[in-house]
Copies of this chain bind each other. A is one copy, B any other.
Amino acid sequence: MSTPTKFLLDESKMPTHWYNIQADLPKPAPAVLHPGTLQPVGPDDLAPLFPMELILQEVSTEREIPIPEPVREVFRLWRPSPLFRAHRLEKLLGTPAKIYYKYEGVSPAGSHKPNTAVPQAWYNAQAGIKKLTTETGAGQWGSSLAFAGALFGIDVTVFQVRVSYDQKPYRRALMETYGARCIASPSNETNSGRAILEKNPNHPGSLGIAISEAVEIAATHDDTKYALGSVLNHVLMHQTIIGQEAIAQLEMAGDDPDVIVGCTGGGSNFAGIAFPFIGQQLRGGKKRRIVAVEPAACPSLTRGKYAYDFGDTGHLTPLTKMHTLGSTFTPPGFHAGGLRYHGMAPLVSHLKELGLIEAVAYHQTQCFQAGVSFARAEGIVPAPEANHAVLGAIEEAMRCKREGKAETILFNLCGHGHFDMSAYISYASGQLVDQPYDESELAMALAGLPSVPA
């Protein structure tokens, strides 16, 4: 083929700043509230959990925030990540569309998560912190923070949702290989965990519960802080290195996307690819379609309520306004563990309310079908989460085929599926089914949202 397959940026072209979309918003996102006073939280409220540099990033409205050189030095292990033109997939689909994908699976942990794990670990190390706690579902985030902790001499403790802890021993082994301690959640190590276990000793766990446990440890130990892998403003901002690189790489390709697709759980990989492009538009640039793809079994953007809610099940976090299924909602046990969260990042939710992004929801069997087609055409086996973005991109490409349009589609392939092959085994054997959520449970969870006066 005459046109290149991949577009690599030189290390010297790696972005030097994160892009902060808060600088360009037509109106600011609603304030984060203290659950007791219902007043906006200040930096001091968050200080038990995060180092001050990250708290300042959380509320900053500076457009560009410099990436510290020691963080960029680590990023050079895998960044700039490659951008691929999916020639073989285009041919398979017979579409006039051009499909590009940014591939974040080249990181040591196999996903986009180290983009924020490394700076979070570094800022904590700079603040003299020696211990970090966090939660993880499938393990993408936990293994990323474990990796980052190993680099900066920080002890990392990961509360992993029990069902994943039991089903995915290899992700746990990866965390332990990097030197982290991994605990099945709910656990007996926290009040939040014990309260759950008292009611149900065999509770399978959830991200909301694991967050409560990790936050509790950090809040009650002076030498320990907490790290979150998605949802928060500064976490999403750390991921914007993805979209910034993609902009430079598409310039190399002489192309400009019409549609940008990402999968959404907490919202971080989606924000990473999309925010720099949305920023261009907000500053008067090209208007593009931005499509968030979420699991039909946990559809916060398409079926949730835009309301103030807690980030965790134990109600230890502040209240944020977001698309939520309710903090007590337990999604079915589908395979994209990284998308099994009841809420959506406040910034992503705000953009949805502003009409700047679209959202669709797909069931997992469709997503795996798309992922297998992608693997056979392009070689890379996507993570179950990334399969949602693959299907979203394929749907757009097929629309282009029907409409005879040669649009340019960009999607974020946020991670590989090497640690998720049990899901592919289920799919291949026909045992993978679509599990709808329980409508009455959703109704109950939404009815239980905290009451916050407008």
Hey, which bits of chain A sit against chain B, CB under 8 A? 1, 4-6, 8, 10-11, 73, 76-78, 84, 88, 106-110, 147, 150-151, 169-170, 173-174, 176-179, 372, 375-381, 416, 418-419, 421-422, 424-425, 428
Contact = CB atoms under 8 A, between A and B. Distances in A.
Given A179-B376, A376-B179, A378-B77, A11 B1 contact: no
The CB with the most chain B CB atoms within 10 A, among A147, A177, A380, is that of A177
Given A107-B379, A150-B375, A174-B381, 9 more contacts: A6-B11, A106-B106, A110-B418, A173-B422, A174-B421, A176-B425, A177-B421, A418-B418, A419-B421
Contacts of A421: 169-170, 173-174, 177, 419
A110 B380 CA distance: 10
12 contacts: A5-B73, A8-B10, A77-B378, A108-B378, A150-B377, A169-B425, A173-B421, A173-B424, A174-B421, A176-B425, A177-B375, A177-B428
Contacts of A11: 4-6, 8
Contacts of A76: 4-6
B88 A151 contact: yes
A170 B10 CA distance: 34
A110 B378 CA distance: 14
A73 B177 contact: no
Contacts of A375: 108, 150, 177-178
Given A8-B10, A424-B173, A84 B88 contact: no
B5 A380 contact: no
A266 to B, nearest CB: 23
